[in-house]
């Protein structure tokens, strides 16, 4: 991939997609193509084929997906399965049909079994039952991995798959029910501070362990993999560091300056008890993340403050 290569970033307005765009522009790539969801519905094969026929991208970062937290996955399993299957099937197939030189498909750590051996290595895929609360999303992502591998093995298409850990960063989703844990807590602590609330309630027990990666670090990893990784086997993208949800909440409270108590709503699900990625394969290639969890939360919160009116309208 050279600086003049034509690159399509699917999902360029999302948290990860926008970070990939920033990364590419920072590295001197200017021949980038995008389309909003209003301009191009990736669930519609005719629209996707027309886009690829017209634009003829040489490289594709497939970061477009329907995403959400535990509650959203539980309430909308049809959308999380159907929409994601359609998006990835259409883009991957069009990439093959129109001669894309290389495609990177972004999956999710939820593809792995609920009780996979920790830290989770790539070979754990399909060795056990999935976490029920996000099974639909996980099945869609597994199908995307297998489709990329099938095109690679049957047709020699250079389609690779990266499995990121839990992401957060600029442009995250702060919906009070449908967001992931870190942005949900950030918003909750911010509102509790502004409203002088005596406590912040955390869903679940606070004991589950999670790994978090700043979105701009993931973007750097995706760019690095596009340049340096050729294997059809999936590769994990994580930090190798984990914290409990309680530790995460306490850190967010410190960054925001909240002085109240933390309480627990154990009627809400915990999800997977522990989820740490084994990113040794990525590290062996020479890539490691740069942003600490505290630094990333500080950067994310500063961006949240500049756009808090916009985010406050998310209901």
Q: Binding site for substrate: which residues?
A: 188, 203, 210, 270
Calpha distance 85→66 (Å, rounded): 10
Bridge partners of residue 162, in order along the sequence: 106, 235
Radius of gyration of the chain (CA): 19
| Token output for 140 | 């869609």
Integer Cα distance of 55 and 33 in angstroms:
8
**Binding-site residue positions:** 11-17, 106-109, 141, 180, 188, 203, 210, 270
Task: Considering the candidates 96, 137, 152, 223, report the single residue annotated as catalytic.
Answer: 137
Binding residues for NADP(+): 11-17, 106-109, 141, 180
* Residue 137 known to be catalytic: yes
C-alpha distances out from residue 199 to 177, 205, 261, 294, Å: 18, 15, 4, 22
Give the sign of the dihedral formed by CA 22, CA 93, CA 287, CA 66: positive
CA distances to 9, 35, 43, 296 from 5, rounded to whole Å, are 13, 18, 26, 31
In whole angstroms, what separates CA 38 from the centre of its chain?
22
Q: Are the C-beta atoms of residues 206 and 246 closer than 8 Å to each other?
A: yes
Cα–Cα distance measured from residue 67 to residue 173, given in angstroms and rounded to the nearest whole number: 9
Residue 138 to residue 85: CA distance in whole angstroms: 11
Residues assigned a catalytic role? 137
């Amino acid at each position: 991939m050279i600086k003049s290569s034509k690159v399509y970033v699917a999902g360029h307005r999302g948290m990860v997609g926008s970070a990939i765009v920033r990364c590419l522009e920072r590295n001197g790539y200017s021949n980038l193509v995008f389309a909003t969801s209003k301009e191009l519905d990736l669930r519609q094969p005719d629209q996707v084929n027309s886009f690829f026929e017209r634009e003829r991208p040489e490289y594709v970062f497939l970061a477009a997906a329907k995403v959400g937290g535990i509650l959203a996955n539980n309430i909308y399993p049809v959308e999380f399965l159907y929409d994601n299957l359609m998006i990835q099937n259409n883009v991957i197939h069009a990439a093959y049909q129109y001669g894309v030189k290389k495609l990177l498909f972004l999956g999710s750590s939820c593809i792995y079994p609920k009780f996979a051996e920790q830290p989770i290595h790539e070979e754990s895929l399909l060795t056990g039952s999935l976490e029920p609360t996000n099974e639909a999303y996980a099945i869609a992502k597994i199908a995307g991995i297998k489709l990329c591998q099938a095109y690679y093995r049957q047709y020699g298409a250079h389609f690779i798959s990266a499995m990121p850990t839990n992401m957060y960063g600029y442009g995250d989703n702060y919906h009070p029910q449908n967001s992931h844990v870190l942005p949900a807590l950030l918003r909750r602590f911010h509102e509790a501070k502004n409203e002088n609330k005596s406590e912040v309630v955390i869903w679940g027990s606070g004991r589950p362990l999670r790994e978090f990666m700043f979105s701009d670090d993931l973007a750097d990893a995706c760019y690095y993999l596009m340049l340096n990784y050729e294997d059809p086997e999936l590769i994990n993208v994580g930090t190798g560091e984990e914290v409990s949800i309680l530790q995460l909440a306490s850190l967010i409270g410190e960054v925001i300056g909240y002085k109240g108590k933390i309480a627990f709503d154990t009627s809400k699900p915990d999800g997977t008890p522990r989820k740490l990625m084994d990113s040794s394969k990525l590290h062996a290639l020479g890539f490691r993340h740069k942003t600490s969890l505290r630094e990333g939360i500080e950067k994310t919160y500063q961006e949240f403050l500049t756009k808090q009116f916009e985010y406050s309208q998310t209901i």
